[in-house]
Each structure stands twice: as C-alpha cells, then as structure tokens.
Amino acid sequence: MKQRLTVLGSTGSIGTSTLDVVARHPDRFEVFALSAATQVDLMLAQCAQFKPRFAVMASAPHSHLLAEKIKANGLKTTVLQSPDALEIIASNDDVDTVMAAIVGSAGLAPCLAAAWAGKRLLLANKEALVVGGDVFLDAVREGAATLLPIDSEHSAIFQSLPEDPATWSQRVEKIILTASGGPFRTRTPDSLRDVTPEQACAHPNWSMGRKISVDSATMMNKALEVIEARYLFGLTPAQLDVVIHPQSIIHSMVQYRDTSVVAQLGTPDMRVPIAYGLAWPERVESGASALNFHALSAMTFEAIDDHGHRDRFPGLQLAWDALAAPQGTTAVLNAANEVAVAAFLDRRIRFDQIHHLNLATLEAVSPSNPDSLNALLALDAQARSVAEQAAGRLAA
C-alpha cells in the first residue's frame, strides 16, 4: 500500500525538497493534496507532475486563478476553497502522512487537525510547536498520531536517541544542538545595526525560505529550536545545550549519563531528514550527496559564551527565559519574532531592532495559560498586534 501524502507549503524550500524525495519513490508515495500561499504557476506544475486529488491556495484570488489554469490544462485536481481547507486536507481519512512545511503560526491549525486525526505528522513548521506547546502534544496523544521531526537538528537528535521514549529521561544527560552561527558569526555586534535583508538571507551552508534565514542570522532560529526540542523530547530546559559548529556537518548530539556522545552527521541537505521522516523506520535514497571524510578538513566548535556571541545573538537566551515563564510565553515570543522578521524584511525596522521588538512584546503581553487552539490563536493575534504597534513606533 502506498503512503498517501499531504504537503502543506508545497511551493516552499521544504515543500519542494519533499516533492523531490517523493518523486524518487513512486512505488512508495502518492500525493493526496498540496497547499501553497501565492505561487500559482509552481503549484500548477506540481499538480501536473504529482496529480493530487486536492490543491489549496491561501487566498480566493489565487484559488480562482489556479482553478482556471488547472481546467485549461485538462488536470483533474480539485481546488478546495474554504476557511478550513487546510484542516480538511490534513485530516482526511484518505491521508496517511502530513508534511507540515508552512512557515509560521499559520500552520498551527492544520497541524492540530492532522494530530487529532492520528496522522504521521512530519514537522518542519517549528513555529507551530513553539506556539502550540502542550496543546499540540495533547493533540498528538489524543489522536494517537506519530510526530516525527524534520528540522535537521531534531531529526539528528531523534536518530541519536534510543527507540523507546520511556528511557530518555533516565539515560540522557543532555542534548547538544549545533548551530552554524549564520552569516554574521564573525561580525562585530555593533556592525549588525545596518545589515540588509539580502545579507541576512545569504546563509553560508543552507538554502532556505527568507523567514528562517533571518532567524538563522539572529540565532532566533536556534532559540525556537531549543523550545521545539523541549517539547519533542521532554527533557528539562537545563538539559538543552547549544554549541556553534560553523561547518554544519554534525547536525546535533545526545550525551548520555556515562558521557558517551551519539551524533548524526551528513552534508547539509534537508532531503536527508525529509527522507528519514517519510520512510521511518526504514531508510530510502534521499538524493543528497554523501559526506566525504577523505576531503573533510576540519570540524570546529565555538562556545556561546565566547567570541562575543552573547552580544551578537542576544535572542538565543530568550528560549530558556520563555520556557521558565508561564505557559503561552513561547507563543508570544514566536508572534513577536514573526512580526519583527517581516518588518525587517520590509525594511521597516533595523536588524538589531528585531530583538528589541521581541523583548518589548514579551514585556507587554502576559499569557493566561492558553489551553485550546482558540486560546492560542487569540494569544498569537494579541501578541502580533502589540508587536505591530511596537514596530510602528520603531519605524517612525
């Protein structure tokens, strides 16, 4: 029986890499539905190649345009257009696996729908878990869903942990997430005032969407990943450590009680964790090139406390601060950061103001234990509106 797949965010960096892996294994995978925001022509090409039953666009005008083009090209895909279209394609009875590759908290509701419906949920959309927290994990438990990480660090950790999660807290001393340090690792903190979106998006090792690229430049990506790891692996925040490893060869590590360290290594290509999630517990060809140890010159490491990294990347600490604060604080931090990154990409605020905006929003919004999807969405909206006002003041 083929695995039937919905890809949320199919036109993005993770979405297209997912379809690249899927296309290598027509005997294993079949595409049930695709979704995207605005790229109608790429979506049309994906519909022609993968022949999904459904396609979803984020707005009515894009849906209509896609529907016209699908008809003109004689394709059979139905363009679903309703407010809950993403939830429908994420939870349909005919779907086995959902790749969550939308960027931002916009992906939360379909993730929860997939979780409640008991799907195999491949999570690239880290913001959904950072916002959803325990509500997300409860949905996975209640729906008996299988949650598999796609983020390369979390895939590496998952591959380095024992199979039985019940043993993790007893056996594991700590998790060490590696971070490349992004494009600004060696710049003086003061010079970051004036960097442009183009410079921030030029990542040395990975080619990714613009939002996560900016997050890598501020290291807010690592902050979100620390929170993601906290929820995925259930250890205490004090057991989560970060080290800078500029070559991105070790994707993360697990240190055990006896000091043994187990790591996962590979070339920086997201098709590896994607293929792992798709095939787990099996292994299939991913299309990535293998690491060549004979040509590998160096693997280096830098402590966060050295080289001025705390001044350069002040946002990283917010992960532990938010995890120590009341439930919902991670959702506030995520909302602030989404608004701040968008404002920076629009050239409304400076790069160094991303952190100021995150701090100002965390100070202004006190979450009151959000325990449902609606409560989370309301908190997300409230934090966004506070962050937008702060961005307006900074831009003025």
User: Is residue 121 within 8 Å of residue 111, measured between CB atoms?
Assistant: yes
* Tally of CB atoms within 10 A around 296: 11
Among positions 206, 256, 280, 320, the unique one binding ligand NAD when judged by CB under 6 A? 206
User: Is residue 96 within 8 Å of residue 3, measured between CB atoms?
Assistant: yes
Nearer to ligand NAD, 10 or 286 (CB): 10
Q: Please enumerate in sequence order all residues whose Cβ is within 8 A of that of 138, keeping only pairs 6 or more positions apart, or say none.
A: none
| Tokens 């430049």 belong to residue | 217
Helix/strand number for the chain, H first, E second: 17, 12
125 binds ligand NAD, rule: CB under 6 A: yes
**Sequence letter at residue 39:** Q
102 binds ligand NAD, rule: CB under 6 A: yes
User: Is residue 104 within 8 Å of residue 338, measured between CB atoms?
Assistant: yes
52 binds ligand NAD, rule: CB under 6 A: no
Nearer to Mg ion, 91 or 337 (CB): 337
Judged by CB under 6 A, which stretch of 11-19, 185-193, 274-282, 366-374 contacts ligand NAD? 11-19
Among positions 151, 338, 380, 388, the unique one binding ligand NAD when judged by CB under 6 A? 151
270 binds ligand NAD, rule: CB under 6 A: yes
Known binding positions for NADPH:
11-14, 37, 125, 127, 209
The site that binds ligand NAD (CB under 6 A) totals a number of residues, namely: 24
Q: How many CA atoms lie within 13 A of 298 on its CB side?
A: 4
101 binds ligand NAD, rule: CB under 6 A: yes
- Smallest distance, Å, CB 86 to ligand NAD? 7
106 binds ligand NAD, rule: CB under 6 A: yes
Give me the residue whose beta carbon is nearest to Mg ion.
151
Contact residues for Mg ion, defined by CB under 5 A: 151-153
Among positions 37, 48, 243, 364, the unique one binding ligand NAD when judged by CB under 6 A? 37
Give me the residue whose beta carbon is nearest to ligand NAD.
12
Question: What 3-state DSSP class applies to 161?
Answer: coil
Using N-to-C axis directions, what is the helix angle for 353-364 and 210-218, rounded to 10°?
A: 90
- Smallest distance, Å, CB 54 to Mg ion? 29
Judged by CB under 6 A, which stretch of 46-54, 118-126, 247-255, 365-373 contacts ligand NAD? 118-126
286 binds ligand NAD, rule: CB under 6 A: no
**Sequence letter at residue 49:** Q
Question: What 3-state DSSP class applies to 276?
Answer: helix
* Tally of CB atoms within 10 A around 153: 28
Known binding positions for Mn(2+):
151, 153, 225
Identify what 388 binds: ligand NAD, Mg ion, none; CB under 5 to 8 Å per kind: none
Length of the chain: 396
364 binds ligand NAD, rule: CB under 6 A: no
Q: What angle do CA 280, 285, 289 make, to 5 degrees?
A: 125
Going from the C-alpha of 281 to that of each of 146, 197, 284, the distances in angstroms are 12, 39, 10
Q: Which residues bind ligand NAD (CB under 6 A)?
A: 9-15, 36-37, 58, 101-103, 106, 124-127, 151, 206, 208-209, 212, 270
